[in-house]
Amino acid sequence: MAKIVLARIDDRLVHGQVMTQWLQYSGGNHIVIVDSDVAADSFNTNMMKMAVPRSVKLDVFTEDEAKEKISELPDSAKVIILAKRPQVFDKLAEDGLELGSVIVGGMGQNQERKKLYKNIAASDEEREAFRKIIDQGIDLKIQVVPSDKTISVETLL
């Protein structure tokens, strides 16, 4: 099975920080986006594939198929899993995917979200998903870029 080198919650999915910092920091060679809406949008999926270096493979899976598809990736895959919402990682863990840690990156404010830490915001539903992730023994921390110190989400809830 592939090795998961990074699991990250980020509204923007594939963007500059992921491509320039997290990719290099993690040593990843295969990005997996888990988002049912993006998976259903071939134009958006193709745009993201163009943003990824040619040496890095990119797949987009729905939330329902992600655990199985990730489990089928080759042993040589060093996987970065990206999702917009913590509920995705809660589901992946419940489905049996081993996630040692999950990093909260970009979660911007909106009408449903309240400030959690600096520029990170979460809705009540997302905070509950954070608790469920932590209860499953997964290390959940905030780290916007690799050079930032990590902040435990558990201490903020």
- What CATH number does the domain containing 46 carry? 3.40.35.10
Residues composing the chain = 157
Neighbours of 32 (CB within 10 A): 23
Q: How many domains does the chain have?
A: 1
pTM of the model: 0.95
| Non-local CB neighbours of 72 within 8 Å, separated by 6+ positions | none
For position 1, what pLDDT does the model report? 79
d(CA 95, CA 91): 6
For the chain of 157 residues, list the mean pLDDT of each consecutive stretch of 10: 94 82 94 96 92 93 96 96 97 95 93 93 97 97 94 95
The residue segments making up the domain with residue 50 are: 3-156
